[in-house]
A and B are shown apart, each in its own frame.
Chain A
């Protein structure tokens, strides 16, 4: 899973570049700006710690992202796909394919968990995500 390119420096770069895109994005920008008013320094530091914990098992991030996302005003299911598209775009610009895929795979799994936590209701059908269908069809096709 991990590659030589996954370093604290790479994570810092990814977080910086990614949130520049998020803030400028027509769909995500307003939601994030409302959720994080004022100085983004703290958010950048939090997200660096988060990805460092997830990719380098540094244990630096300790928090409750489920609760944080449940509180976000205006959060919508399809915005997770937009987030992932921008994240993939940033990874594509910064990393080789293997490294980008390592980040992207983690991001997809975490996004799916957050989506379930924020939106899942036992009495409603759960839409199969595009990423999940794609990975299923890949695993079912012959090598």
Chain B
């Protein structure tokens, strides 16, 4: 069991989650974060910290593809444990639907 980062993180990337995570299991892409499912201990601390409500427990139905995406990119993107400034236009993208299809970037972020 794990938590997964979902659509609304894309281009919002607030990064509040990385500061509270006790096990440093967030990995940074160009415009979103993912959780490493094998490192997450399901403590749930990150879920309410996300201003975009993008972090969900994988027990919620319909998240299979997000779980796969989190697992795939957590193994290639760099680890992030220190929060930086979110993108300047983060607020404008908060709540936009279908960001995966329109905006997802497979490129790695800068990490710590």
Contact = CB atoms under 8 A, between A and B. Distances in A.
A binds B: yes
Interface of A: 50, 53-54, 57, 59, 61-66, 106, 109-110, 112-114, 116-117
A114 B23 CA distance: 12
Main secondary structure of the interface of B (DSSP, over half): loop
Contact of A109 (B20, B23, B44, B81): B44
A53 to B, nearest CB: 4
B22 A54 contact: yes
Contact of B40 (A54, A106, A113): A113
Given A62-B81, A116-B1, A109 B42 contact: yes
Nearest to B16: A57
Contacts of B45: 53-54, 57
A109 B1 contact: yes
A57 B49 contact: yes
B41 A110 contact: yes
A18 to B, nearest CB: 17
B41 A65 contact: yes
A43 B40 CA distance: 21
Most interface-central of B21, B41, B81 (chain A CB within 10 A)? B41
